[in-house]
Amino acid sequence: MRMKILSPDGVVEADLPNPDERSTVGGHWSAVGFYTDNGLTFRLEEYEDTEVGEGIRLETDPDAIDGWWFRGELDFLEVYVS
């Protein structure tokens, strides 16, 4: 299954056949959304140094996330790629 992933390089797409990795990405998106809604970072901290797919690191830096958010590049409703 192909998913959108927020990495240090921005939103990337990758095939994630492993359901555990898909769950991790979904949880990460939830943590990113929680941060953008509340400004609290503790849920992002759970994903520090986490990689999925073929070495795609999940973005946990609040300043970087703010940049992607303010540029309108984060779409929490479209996590799966059709």
**Does the structure show a pLDDT above 70 at 82?**
no
Determine, yes or no, domain membership for 81.
no
Q: For strand 10-15 and strand 2-7, is the pairing parallel, antiparallel, or unpaired?
A: antiparallel
Q: How many domains does the chain have?
A: 1
Determine, yes or no, domain membership for 76.
no
Determine, yes or no, domain membership for 25.
yes
Residue numbers of the domain that contains 58: 2-70
pLDDT digits (tens, 9 = 90+) for 20-45: 999 999 999 999 999 999 999 999 99
pLDDT digits (tens, 9 = 90+) for 62-81: 999 999 999 888 876 677 67
Task: Provide the whole-model pTM.
Answer: 0.92
pLDDT of residue 75: 76
Using a 10 angstrom Cβ sphere, with 0-12 exposed, 13-18 middle and 19 or more buried, the burial of residue 70 is exposed
Q: What is the band of 58 on the pLDDT scale with cuts at 50, 70, 90?
A: very high
